[in-house]
Amino acid sequence: MSTQKPVRRITAPQITRRKGGDPIVSLTSYHAHTAAIVDKYADFILVGDSLGMVMHGMESTVGVSLELMIMHGKAVVRGTSRALVVVDMPFGTYEESPSVAFRNAARVMKETQCGAVKLEGGARMAETIRFLSERGIPVMAHIGLTPQSVNVMGGFKTQGRDEDSWTSHEEDARAVAEAGAFALVLEGMVEPLAARITKQIAIPTIGIGASAECDGQILVLEDMLGLNPTPPKFVKVYGNLGGQIEAAVKAYSEEVKDRSFPGESEVYR
């Protein structure tokens, strides 16, 4: 009989308690096999609506549906046992009202068995964050460059270049923290502003293009593995899987054409 203790998933409150401590590690994942690898090293895994662009070739995240998020969320949860799994709420599923947001977030939690959801927006979403948190749904907030607002922003633009805008970003951060968010993603934000926000609020900040001053970091897995030929400036590329995959496909193509594949070791006799 095994005496090994079962692995317990990291929870949203545990992430909150990491504020000011060891940096929080996170990556995105959209399918079971990569999630199983990331699970060994990440504190939380984000099933980001970036999957619309990364996996489905969309120009932005705006076209991602709730059903698509649930499908990928299920896959990531199946492939993991340790990391907290956070699923993005896609555009149009939470902005209308707190009650609509709760209905959709509850569906995501129930159908995927994830541990939390993430939604974009600062002070304007504080009421919704409070409504969800009080009803048992842990919420990760997201401010700065918010991709779902790309059509309003006029593109993917770095936030905080104009120091006059810092006050509104700081107010957003305080509002979501006070509303009950357990952590806050800061995306595409200048370093001094990200540092100020990190010092001002009691919940961890998770940076993506917001400097090492944050309490943790997240990147899109495919970006850091070298599968995106034009990654954003803030991405450090840790692998060259794009080149390796192309080389492997090219070698396979050549062997099929010259009939050296399948060879003796790949044939049933």
Residue 84 sits in a domain of what CATH number? 3.20.20.60
Instruction: Please determine, for residue 182, whether its predicted confidence score (pLDDT) is greater than 90.
Output: yes
pLDDT in tens, 78-128: 999 999 999 999 999 999 999 999 999 999 999 999 999 999 999 999 999
Strands 183-187 and 205-208: parallel
Domain shared by 74 and 135, yes or no: yes
pLDDT at 7: 76
Question: What are 181's two structure tokens?
Answer: 């968010």
Residue 77 lies in a domain: yes
Domain shared by 252 and 200, yes or no: no
Q: Which residues are annotated as a binding site for Mg(2+)?
A: 49, 88, 120
Residue 6 lies in a domain: no
Residue reference for tokens 């994942």 = 29
Instruction: Please determine, for residue 5, whether its predicted confidence score (pLDDT) is greater than 60.
Output: yes
| Average pLDDT of the segment spanning 62-73 | 97
Residue 96 lies in a domain: yes
Instruction: Please determine, for residue 251, whether its predicted confidence score (pLDDT) is greater than 60.
Output: yes
Domain shared by 256 and 140, yes or no: no
What secondary structure does DSSP assign to 129-177, as a single string? HHHHHHTT--EEEEEES-GGGHHHHTSS--B-SSGGGHHHHHHHHHHHH
Domain shared by 128 and 209, yes or no: yes
In the chain, pLDDT over 90 holds for what percent of residues?
Answer: 92
Residue 156 and residue 147: Cα distance in Å, rounded? 7
Domain shared by 110 and 125, yes or no: yes
pLDDT in tens, 9-61: 999 999 999 999 999 999 999 999 999 999 999 999 999 999 999 999 999 99
Residue 72 lies in a domain: yes
Residue 251, domain extent: 240-268
pLDDT at 1: 56
Domain shared by 200 and 258, yes or no: no
Domain shared by 51 and 62, yes or no: yes
Domain shared by 217 and 254, yes or no: no
Q: Which residues are annotated as a binding site for 3-methyl-2-oxobutanoate?
A: 49-50, 88, 118
pLDDT in tens, 218-245: 999 999 999 999 999 999 999 999 999 9
Bridge-partner residues for 84, per DSSP?
Answer: 44
pLDDT, the chain, mean: 95
Is-contact 119 128, C-beta < 8 A? yes
Is-contact 214 198, C-beta < 8 A? yes
SS3 207: strand
Rounded to 5°, the CA angle 190-191-195 comes to 125
Residue 154 lies in a domain: yes
Domain shared by 55 and 77, yes or no: yes
Instruction: Please determine, for residue 153, whether its predicted confidence score (pLDDT) is greater than 80.
Output: no
Enzyme catalytic residues: 187
Read off the DSSP letter of residue 69: H
pLDDT at 49: 97
Residue 7 lies in a domain: no
Q: How many domains does the chain have?
A: 2
In the chain, pLDDT over 70 holds for what percent of residues?
Answer: 97
